């Protein structure tokens, strides 16, 4: 899967008691420390752990509005043979990657489509059908069926920037 970086240009302006960013995707941030801290906070709200860099750009005319470019890199959703779903910048050996996107959107999308654990699995996110599967082949079949369902049925393949993948792409 190719590495894709996402960028967002933002503006930070001073207020009477700090700094505030413009609104992007309904999110905004403010900070009393400085303009870069406000930009960092907005980047964390938008991209979570996918945020890689807050780049300073030239100030606007008049020098009051500071410009920044936020750089984010993809995060991966993967599961283990037990059906446990986890997220990270890399996929550990032995795990099956099934989706990629920006941290916040990826986790939100997978949480909507995954199964929330009960009992001993409470607080964990699981691939439906995998914990109950009788054999390793049945577990793989359950993952494939769920990813296919995620790609169509209840959600588009690219909903919220999240891309569900399987087969050679997922390996």
pLDDT in tens, 59-103: 877 778 999 999 999 899 999 999 999 999 999 999 999 998 888
Dihedral over alpha carbons 123, 129, 130, 131 (to 10 degrees): 60
Angle at the Cα of 152 (from 6 to 125), degrees rounded to 5? 70
Rounded Cα gap, residues 74 and 65, in angstroms: 29
Residue 9 scores a pLDDT above 60: yes
pLDDT in tens, 23-48: 998 999 999 999 999 999 999 999 88
pLDDT at 171: 42
Task: Tell me the domain boundaries of the chain.
Answer: 6-72, 75-169
Task: Compute how many other C-beta atoms are within 10 angstroms of the C-beta atom of residue 33.
Answer: 11
CA distances from residue 164 to 3, 62, 91, 155 in whole angstroms, order as listed: 15, 45, 15, 10
Beta bridge partners of 85: 79
When pLDDT is cut at 50, 70 and 90, the band that residue 168 belongs to is very low
pLDDT at 71: 94
Residue 14 scores a pLDDT above 90: yes
pLDDT at 118: 86
pLDDT in tens, 105-149: 889 889 998 999 888 888 899 999 998 899 989 998 999 999 888
pTM assigned to the model: 0.74
């Amino acid at each position: 899967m190719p590495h894709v970086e996402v960028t967002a240009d933002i503006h930070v302006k001073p207020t009477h008691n700090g700094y505030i960013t413009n609104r992007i995707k309904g999110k905004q941030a403010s900070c009393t420390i400085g303009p870069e801290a406000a930009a960092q906070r907005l980047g964390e709200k938008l991209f979570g752990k996918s945020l890689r860099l807050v780049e300073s750009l030239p100030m606007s005319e008049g020098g009051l509005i500071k410009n920044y470019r936020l750089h984010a890199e993809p995060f991966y959703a993967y599961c283990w043979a037990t059906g446990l779903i986890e997220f990270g910048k890399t996929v550990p050996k032995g795990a099956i990657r099934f989706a990629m996107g920006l941290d916040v959107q990826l986790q939100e999308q997978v949480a909507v489509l995954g199964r929330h654990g009960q009992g001993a699995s409470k607080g964990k996110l699981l691939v439906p059908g995998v914990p109950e599967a009788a054999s390793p082949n049945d577990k793989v079949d359950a993952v494939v069926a769920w990813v296919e369902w995620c790609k169509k049925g209840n959600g588009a393949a690219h909903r919220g920037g999240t891309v569900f993948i399987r087969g050679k792409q997922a390996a």
